Amino acid sequence: MKNQINKKFEPLATYQHLVASTQLLIREILKLNGTVNIIDDTFNFINFTINGKTYEVIGTTYTHTTSLLNYMICNNKQICKKVLEKHQFKTPKGFEVSTKDNLKIDLTYPLVLKPLDTNHGIDVIVNIKSLT
């Protein structure tokens, strides 16, 4: 399992024009012998069939079961983390800060900095080795 965590994302052939999260979803669908159809490349809108059931997904965020509450939870990393932990899902160690001055704890480097309100890797900073 540890090797999978450290494994670098490799684009999925023929689906490289889609965002990484959609490619990862497609990879899992294909592992389950499902079929995938791209409906709209711009919005990463796909439908897929597994075991005779067809599902539609837009950008891995919106599905046929998506409610506004689920959307709001998934678009805030701290709230999403709390909900996942409540249901015994393992999540990476993390906490919310607003400035470097708020960091009064010992940190283990390297760090990853992720804005609370973006997705698809937007504005993520990786391999932070110090706060200076």
**In whole angstroms, what separates CA 125 from the centre of its chain?**
15
State which amino acid sits at residue 41: D
Digits of tens for pLDDT over the chain (132 positions)?
A: 444 555 788 899 999 999 988 999 999 999 999 999 999 988 889 999 999 999 888 877 777 777 777 777 777 788 888 888 988 888 888 878 777 666 667 788 888 888 877 777 888 889 988 877
**DSSP-derived 3-state class of residue 49:** strand
Task: Identify the pLDDT of residue 101.
Answer: 67
CA distance 43 to 50: 22
Q: Please list, in sequence order, all residues whose beta carbon lies within 8 angstroms of the beta carbon of residue 87, skipping any fewer than 6 positions away.
A: none
Q: Please list, in sequence order, all residues whose beta carbon lies within 8 angstroms of the beta carbon of residue 102, skipping any fewer than 6 positions away.
A: none
CA distance 25 to 53: 16
Task: Identify the pLDDT of residue 48.
Answer: 94
Question: C-alpha dihedral over 5, 6, 10, 12, to 10 degrees?
Answer: -10
**DSSP-derived 3-state class of residue 75:** coil
Task: Identify the pLDDT of residue 106.
Answer: 77
Task: Identify the pLDDT of residue 1.
Answer: 44
Task: Identify the pLDDT of residue 3.
Answer: 47
Task: Identify the pLDDT of residue 36.
Answer: 96
Q: What is the pTM of this model?
A: 0.51
